[in-house]
Amino acid sequence: MIRSDIAFQKCISPACGATYEVGEALVACPRCGDLLDVAYDWNRARPPSSLEGFQQMWSQRHDPLRLSGVWRFLELLPFAKPSEVVTVGEGQTLLQQADLVAAYVGLQPGRLFLQYEGMNPSGSFKDNGMTAAFTHARQIGATRAACASTGNTSASLAMYCSVTRLMKGVIFIGSGKISYGKLSQALDFGALTVQIAGDFDDAMARVKEVSRDLGIYLVNSVNPFRLEGQKTIMYRVLEALRWEVPDWIVVPGGNLGNSSAFGKAFAELVELGLIRTAPRLAVINAAGADTLSELVQRRGVRWNGGAVDETPIAAYYQSLDQEQRKASTIASAIEINRPVNLRKCLRALEFCNGVVRHVTDQEILDAKAKVGAGGMGCEPASAASVAGARLLCDQGVIARGDRVVCILTGHQLKDPTATVAYHTTDQEQFNKTLGNRGVRRASFANRAVAVSNNLDEIVKAIRLYS
């Protein structure tokens, strides 16, 4: 088994705190069942004394480890040696100032930034984590990898399998729950795709059993190495802001991997003295998949130094079962009722003085249209961050002059069905295409103009509408 004198795995429960070698493939603490972190002995790891050095690495981008927006920061996730890293050039993403969207959100010009993770090779932020999971899988010699997915994790896993040829991929998806853009990626890349008669929560429960029984490497975000890669999204945000910490990071919440990784990134940067304070974190659920907001906002669940009161959580899950309530939102990527990283997210919320909100499908689609009109576009789940920022501005939690970064987690073309339905169809057809989701108006629809095949008519239409 591979050992490291720098990195180890550690149970997140302060009451347990058991540690394990990096060479073990674990998705929960064998002693108490809680989630695991990748932890480091920073005295041995010798982290940088300042953050500025990282941006100079871009000038060495002929080296694949410098080209990658994840492995440029290897010193802050030092569980692997450079020779062990598996990279396809992920993490070359942009932070853009977005003044049009800022006006919609209610922020002053120059105060809203969008972090476009859709620019990753498979079109979502997942590649940040997958490169780290593949690196660990290679370290331990895994030959097969599996995930349950609402679409993006599976696209990313399938892509890393086909590009690197290191492992065979097995993908579990809920039936009818995945957008065509994402499904097409998994099929095209050649992964074994298993469609379960159920939703993501069912698929997640099954893939855990199957990977345990068959010894398949699990790459869902219960894998602590994956979250190490996702920390780098925050390093790149800070880098783009010239190492100034913003006031807010706003992120959609599904399985809660990102929010957990962001919290860990900031906790470590503070511990290492590389930043003074963390930004505040806002995690945004969809109203139809709002477990985190229900538990935190309504039932008062907190990390509480690791002593989480599990009673309201168990009661809530029991009520979901009794009422057979399934997650339901147009933002299919975050259509999740049982987030596997709940405890780590609670820890991140505590560290970052975070808040949780939920937004409706109507708010998500309107925000998505504004993001699209403002520039680069995103998929519905990603727009939850912008809709959430707007809600928090409205509530006076975020001030008009605050510096806010919304994470756009996935590319616009991941889910064109929702976009086209919003812009072109009438209410009846919208409901037929996407189900009746309480979306009553396409406030910012850009409708196609129907015109007969006649030069005069076409010219008239252009004059009228332009």
Give the interface with ligand F0G as residue ranges (CB under 6 A).
124, 126, 149-153, 221, 252-258, 333-334, 379, 381-382, 409-410
CA angle 102, 117, 198 (to 5 degrees): 110
Calculate the alpha carbon distances from 27 to 38, 307, 341, 389, 392 in Å: 11, 21, 11, 32, 34
The encoded tokens of residue 378 equal: 């995103």
The beta strand positions in 287-381, using DSSP E, are 355-359
Nearer to ligand F0G, 169 or 254 (CB): 254
CB of 345 to ligand F0G, least distance (A): 8
User: What whole-number distance in Å separates Cα of residue 101 and Cα of residue 111?
Assistant: 10
CB of 341 to ligand F0G, least distance (A): 7
Half-sphere CA count of 435, side-chain side, radius 13 A: 9
Indicate the burial class of 166 (C-beta count within 10 angstroms; 0-12, 13-18, 19 or more): middle
**Alpha-carbon Rg of the chain, whole angstroms?**
22
Nearer to ligand F0G, 9 or 255 (CB): 255
Half-sphere CA count of 219, side-chain side, radius 13 A: 37
Nearer to ligand F0G, 12 or 256 (CB): 256
Of the candidates 288, 224, 206, the residue with the CA atom closest to the CA atom of residue 253: 288
Nearer to ligand F0G, 127 or 379 (CB): 379
Nearer to ligand F0G, 144 or 338 (CB): 338
Indicate the burial class of 209 (C-beta count within 10 angstroms; 0-12, 13-18, 19 or more): exposed
Nearer to ligand F0G, 240 or 381 (CB): 381
CB of 255 to ligand F0G, least distance (A): 3
CB of 252 to ligand F0G, least distance (A): 4
User: What whole-number distance in Å separates Cα of residue 232 and Cα of residue 253?
Assistant: 18
Question: For residues 35 and 28, is the Cβ–Cβ distance under 8 A?
Answer: yes
Backbone phi, then psi, for 46, in 5-degree steps?
50, 70
User: What whole-number distance in Å separates Cα of residue 48 and Cα of residue 76?
Assistant: 8
For 106, residues 6+ apart whose C-beta sits below 8 A from its C-beta are 390, 393, 394, 400
Nearer to ligand F0G, 182 or 403 (CB): 182
Nearer to ligand F0G, 139 or 412 (CB): 412
Nearer to ligand F0G, 245 or 327 (CB): 327
CB of 105 to ligand F0G, least distance (A): 18
Nearer to ligand F0G, 98 or 334 (CB): 334
Taken as a whole, the chain contains a residue count of: 466
CB of 305 to ligand F0G, least distance (A): 23
Strand partners, 96: 114
CB of 338 to ligand F0G, least distance (A): 11
CB of 2 to ligand F0G, least distance (A): 27
The encoded tokens of residue 81 equal: 């040696």
Calculate the alpha carbon distances from 95 to 67, 231, 405 in Å: 17, 16, 8
CB of 3 to ligand F0G, least distance (A): 30
Nearer to ligand F0G, 258 or 419 (CB): 258
CB of 381 to ligand F0G, least distance (A): 4
User: What whole-number distance in Å separates Cα of residue 125 and Cα of residue 420?
Assistant: 23
CB of 133 to ligand F0G, least distance (A): 13
